[in-house]
Structure 1
Amino acid sequence: MSDYLLLFSFSLLLAGVFSAYVTVSVMTGDDVTLNPDAIHEMRRWKFKGIEIGTNNQSRNRPNVDSQTGSLFIQNIRTEDTGEYKLEIKRSNDKTLQPFKTFNVILNDKVESVSGVKGGFVTLNTDTQPQTDDVIEWKFENTSIAKVDKRIPSDYFNKERFGDRLHVDSRGSLIITQIKMNESGQYDVNITSSKQIIHKRFSLTVSGVFSAYVTVSVMKGDDVTLNPNVIHEMRRWKFKDIEIKTTDQSRNRLNTQTGSLTIQNISTEDTGEYQLEIKTSEDKVLKPFKTFNVILNDQVITVSVMKEDSFTLPTGVQKQPVDVKWTFNGTDLTGSTITNIRPEQFGEYKGEIDCRDFILQRTLSVKFNDKVESVSVTAGETVTLNTNTPRQADDVIEWKLFQ
């Protein structure tokens, strides 16, 4: 029994003290507090191997709170970046042990985002979501949204934005029906046990204008053209003829979102689709967006061998906002297939979101077990032919198996 109890006690000790690593991404001039999240009388902070004492008299230097053990860094500059290490000593320890490392890095990039009055914008955090994220958004230094994933209570500044704000799972801010006076500086602070992040955005909202979007599709694709703007008064035209919800064709209008879906695209579906809208300030419908749908006869083929690993190609030049693939009705995680097996060959269906339009595309992955034999004499020059046409965006890698 004593041996069992001793082993159990030792396991608890290993689980209690560990060295966690926290990334802290901030901007020049920020103030940041590094929290230990543990209460111990014996603790020590180090920066670049030098101990940081409590009650530091230098106004802008790191200062340790003697009660909480938190480290406060004011008016951060380049020389303050690097690793801050916290050591603690528990009752079972003989010496101070590493507990947490905070890696402070500077990111002074201000991301510029543009939007159209009456439309919506997304301010993307581009972060990996954590279960204990605390996310706060500010507009011109005033808090407008706060989400704490640990408690079911979110705050949104309805007095300023009404019900037009939404924070997604990654902490990105979505503003719908944006107004001209909502241009300006937006800041987000994300705090969790693994990261502390501050990002800044500059949003510019302009009036209604006519945008031009080129949509390159393949024969048989389904494509959805998105207005990205909410207005009750709107009209779609194709070759100067209005598209109506009652039309018995392969074109489908979504009466709620205003999007236009073209199914099973063929040559006669190519050309310019024009969207007109009417805002509260307009007396008549005005041009807002033109989608030029063109056919790309390039066929995407994926020919691989058993146990190959590869990424499913989207066939679009513009970097998609999101890509979802399914195989035999099952959703896939990501776009990469590793160590492909015979049962994984077949048709993959993709939904490719390019923000202004969404493509529904089918991709056929075929099995190729042919091994081409080439015989040469030592010292000769040899050419291994792929027998495939070269594309401008090809990525080619050769491997030698010995």
Structure 2
Amino acid sequence: MKIALIHALFLLFEICVFGDADITETVSVIEGDSATLHTNVTEIQSSDEIEWRLNGNRIAIISGGSIKTEGSYRDGLKLDKQTGDLKITNIRSTDSGEYKLKVRNTRGSSEKTFSVSGVSGVDEVKSVSVIVGDSVTLNSRTIIQTDDVIEWRFLNSPIAEHNRKTGNFSTSDGPDERFRHRLQLDPQTGSLTITKIGPKHSGFYEAGFRKSSRTHTIHKSYNVTVSGEMKSALSVKEGDSVTLQTGLTEIQRDDLMLWRFGDTVIAEIYKAQKRFSIYDDVERFRDRLDLNKKTGSLTITDTRTEDAGLYELQINIIRFTINKRISVTVSDPGLSPGAVLGIVVVLLAFAAAAAAGVIYYRHRISELKALIDTLRVFEGKSFTLNPDEVLQDDKLQWMFRGACIAARESAALGFTVHDGVLDGIFKGRLKLDPQTGSLTIPNTSTTHSGLYELQIIRSGKISVKRFFVSVFVNIPEENEPLKGDP
């Protein structure tokens, strides 16, 4: 009786695992990204036969240890010889369709169907050029789900991994320890930050996002080029001009750039809205700032000694965020070279102390015509945007980069949240006070940098309150480990 029961259970197991049931998995990928469809076979045996079909046409078969491709199989499709997994690279709309997997062996057979669609998007820019010494964030532009696993690879070597389900988190120094104390992984979005970048960090990076069930993996790739060193310290004689370079040849449509001096915004560029703003109403730089509309470089004319200090540039690109720091010294034409060197040393020491000690800045610029409150915060921290007095019946609308992220008809009705816009960068993060209208975003990342606008509609009249938020990568001292380092 026992033997019969065990036999029956074994047959039931075979039916469940190798039966005719066809499991359909939906895979949606932004055009230009890649996807791997998993067989869940650990290692192909000589008796195994694995067949892949696209829209009914056979494109590949693995049998007896040999691989044969045919039909509409293209170079962008790659088969893993060990597992039979199919990787579709650089997905196009023509790659959309039904991918059917058949696995046969001595124990039976199984089938699985993947419905793959290439979604048109704006993620086409995959290459970035970074100057030596800058930091760069490779933005995943996604929100990691509870059971997601993310793995970052550099030149096909694993350098960082985070499993949200198990809580495992690790980073690697990489080949030749080239990434030592330089990697930071955002636990919410999976974005990877590389600080103090150098030539040896140039190369191909790939992020893989997969469910713990291993049905499929979405890949995002980046090609990083680290070019010749741009001076992070500039010296100029009083009365001359100095240009702070961005390192870009041309600003792209969706690039968002912010120049700061200390904790004061002095220039802003957002090409999508044709906004090239110089805040030279600030007394220190009145009529002496010039912004290059093609590259974003900033020129200070007729320099004065009080112009000396630390200038910071943040460039938010769709897939990247770049942070630059440039220290400027302005010397009296009559000073000796030794005196100038002394000033440089003092200023650099001051800049280093400021960078290490600052965690959170807020500075209200009442003199600006645009009346913009500016806020600076290091990623991982939270910030709150507080409007002026708001009445109970005021209609409120919070905007970010031209998109509505939250709206309120009245205090009694509360806020309607639109956190799915802008590829979900605010998913589950928007906290709004229905009474005061204040907006709080916890656990920030660099993707939350930009211009926030609160539109207040009262008695048929509209007033606007603006906030410019800069979320910076926290760059530690050389021997200080970053979050996530062992």
With the length of structure 1 as denominator, give the TM-score of the two structures. Answer: 0.49
With the length of structure 2 as denominator, give the TM-score of the two structures. Answer: 0.42
From the CA coordinates, give the structure whose radius of gyration is larger: 1
Q: Which has the higher helix share?
A: 2
